[in-house]
């Protein structure tokens, strides 16, 4: 053969070693960003907390570490009861949405897919309106009515989309269109219901729709955490399936993968995690769409890197943005979804612009 070049053996083995694997610097860098974001979010706010004291408190809380604490009891209370629950919640919601976004983008082989694609947002919105506005009481044990109703609404809307598409996970285009139709239907119902509400209740619903992170205690965190862990693990284990799906359904099948089954699992996990996040935080825009793109710029296109790094960076992003939500118009609060869109949309435009320029 004419053109048989031989690279040094170790370079090839190194390439084989690196393929589909997270590089240590990327992982460490992103984790450091997340920790920084959490620290910043924990110290900034109506009552500023000293950074050193917060670090001492956080590190001291690790098992087996004994540090002199410098925070006053009042500051301790602010940190553990107000600031940290909210920060951790922001990080979890950001991680959920970003992972779900990566999952949906893989399933639909479309970089414009976001976690709300199949009607999650509209379904959750309708559920919230019904619960808040009409006193529909879906409360279940310790779980309040609104998150429960939003969760149920979101899952129902996606299930509706899947049923309308006759469960055709072989044909994602049909599923996508079904999602559009279902979202339109639920949104219309939700808008109609909103017009029937009195002003106070309507305002409360709207503020939820724009995305707001709950501020009372650790409840929402414990609600969301199991979903993040479970669905996150499922998504991560199916990231390779998403890589194979990038070859198209035919080739994926001839390689021994069942595209329909992989899609079903990923859509189910991404939907659950999104519904859970939305139920505690409302509709937060752009995190799920932008984060996977940012990760692609950093580490390339393999979903085995995109899924875990999206989780970390999505968490860091939302925790950071939430600082703005709490402080920009203090003592009032901006809906965090407004800021994510304000930051996310221009960023996304720049990414698109540069990508166009590259190709």
Partner 1 sequence: MTTHRLHPAHALRTRDVRVSFAGTEVVAGIDLDLRAGEWLGLIGPNGSGKSTFLRSLVRLVPRTGSVERGDGTPPGPTDLSLMPQSPELPPGMPVMEYVLLGRTAHLGWLSMESRADRRIATDVLRRLGLASFAGRPVRSLSGGEAQRVVIARALVQQSPVLLLDEPTSALDVGHQVEVLELVDELRREDSLTVVAAMHDLGMAARYADRLLLLERGAPVALGTPDEVLDDTLLSRVYHHPVRVHRLDGHLVVLPQARALHTPASAPIPLPDRSTPASPRSGQRDLGDGSQKPRSRKLGSAGPHEEVS
- What are the residues binding partner 1 (CB under 8 A)? 1-7, 9, 11-13, 15-20, 237-238, 240-241, 243-244, 246-248, 250-257, 296, 300-302
Q: How far is the CB of 274 from partner 1 (least distance, A)?
A: 23
Q: How far is the CB of 12 from partner 1 (least distance, A)?
A: 5
- Nearest alpha-carbon partner for 39 in 317, 320, 326, 328: 320
Q: How far is the CB of 138 from partner 1 (least distance, A)?
A: 36
- Only one residue has tokens 């559920």, namely 127
Q: How far is the CB of 106 from partner 1 (least distance, A)?
A: 11
| Cβ-based nearer residue to partner 1, 15 or 330 | 15
Conformation bin of residue 135: beta by default, left when phi > 0, alpha when psi is -120 to 50:
left
Q: How far is the CB of 304 from partner 1 (least distance, A)?
A: 9
Contact 108, 192 (CB under 8 A): no
Q: How far is the CB of 11 from partner 1 (least distance, A)?
A: 7
| Cβ-based nearer residue to partner 1, 17 or 52 | 17
Q: How far is the CB of 158 from partner 1 (least distance, A)?
A: 25
* CA 131 – CA 205 distance, rounded (Å): 9
- Only one residue has tokens 């969301």, namely 224
- Nearest alpha-carbon partner for 19 in 305, 293, 252, 292: 305
* Cis peptide, bond prior to residue 164, ω within 30 of zero: no
| Cβ-based nearer residue to partner 1, 49 or 257 | 257
CA 218: distance to chain centroid?
19
Q: How far is the CB of 301 from partner 1 (least distance, A)?
A: 4
Q: How far is the CB of 31 from partner 1 (least distance, A)?
A: 21
- Nearest alpha-carbon partner for 339 in 287, 275, 276, 279: 287
* CA 119 – CA 149 distance, rounded (Å): 15
| Cβ-based nearer residue to partner 1, 237 or 330 | 237
Label residue 92 exposed, middle or buried (CB < 10 Å: 0-12, 13-18, 19+).
buried
| Cβ-based nearer residue to partner 1, 17 or 137 | 17
Contact 339, 321 (CB under 8 A): yes
Q: How far is the CB of 231 from partner 1 (least distance, A)?
A: 17
| Cβ-based nearer residue to partner 1, 4 or 142 | 4
| Cβ-based nearer residue to partner 1, 198 or 250 | 250
| Cβ-based nearer residue to partner 1, 106 or 127 | 106
| Cβ-based nearer residue to partner 1, 104 or 303 | 303
| Cβ-based nearer residue to partner 1, 21 or 166 | 21
């Amino acid at each position: 053969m004419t053109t048989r070049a031989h690279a040094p053996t170790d370079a090839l083995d190194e390439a084989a070693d690196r393929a589909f694997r997270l590089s240590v610097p990327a992982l460490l860098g992103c984790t450091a960003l997340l920790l920084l974001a959490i620290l910043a979010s924990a110290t900034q706010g109506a009552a500023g907390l000293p950074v050193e004291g917060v670090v001492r408190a956080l590190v001291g809380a690790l098992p087996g570490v004994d540090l002199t604490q410098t925070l006053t009891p009042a500051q301790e209370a602010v940190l553990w009861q107000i600031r940290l629950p909210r920060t951790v919640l922001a990080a979890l919601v950001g991680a959920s949405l970003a992972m779900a976004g990566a999952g949906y983008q893989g399933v639909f082989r479309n970089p414009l897919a976001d976690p709300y694609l199949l009607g999650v947002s509209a379904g959750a919105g309708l559920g919230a309106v019904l619960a808040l506005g009409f006193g529909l009481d879906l409360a279940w044990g310790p779980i309040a009515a609104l998150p429960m109703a939003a969760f149920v609404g979101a899952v129902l809307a996606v299930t509706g989309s899947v049923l309308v598409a006759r469960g055709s996970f072989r044909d994602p285009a049909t599923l996508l269109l079904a999602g559009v139709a279902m979202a339109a239907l639920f949104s219309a119902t939700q808008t109609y219901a909103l017009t029937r509400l009195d002003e106070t209740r309507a305002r409360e619903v709207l503020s939820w729709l724009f995305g707001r992170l709950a501020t009372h205690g650790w409840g929402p965190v414990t609600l969301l955490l199991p979903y993040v862990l479970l669905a996150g693990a499922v998504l991560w284990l199916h990231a390779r399936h998403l890589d194979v799906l990038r070859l198209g359904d035919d080739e994926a099948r001839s390689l021994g993968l069942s595209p329909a089954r992989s899609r079903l699992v990923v859509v189910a996990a991404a939907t659950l995690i999104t519904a859970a996040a939305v139920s505690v935080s409302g509709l937060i825009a752009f995190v799920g769409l932008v984060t996977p793109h940012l990760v692609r710029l950093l580490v390339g296109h393999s979903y085995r890197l995109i899924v875990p790094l999206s989780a970390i960076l999505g968490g860091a992003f939302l925790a950071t943005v939430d600082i703005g939500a709490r402080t920009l118009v203090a003592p009032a609060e901006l809906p965090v979804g407004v800021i994510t869109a304000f930051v996310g949309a221009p960023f996304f435009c720049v990414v698109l612009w540069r990508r166009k320029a590259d190709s």
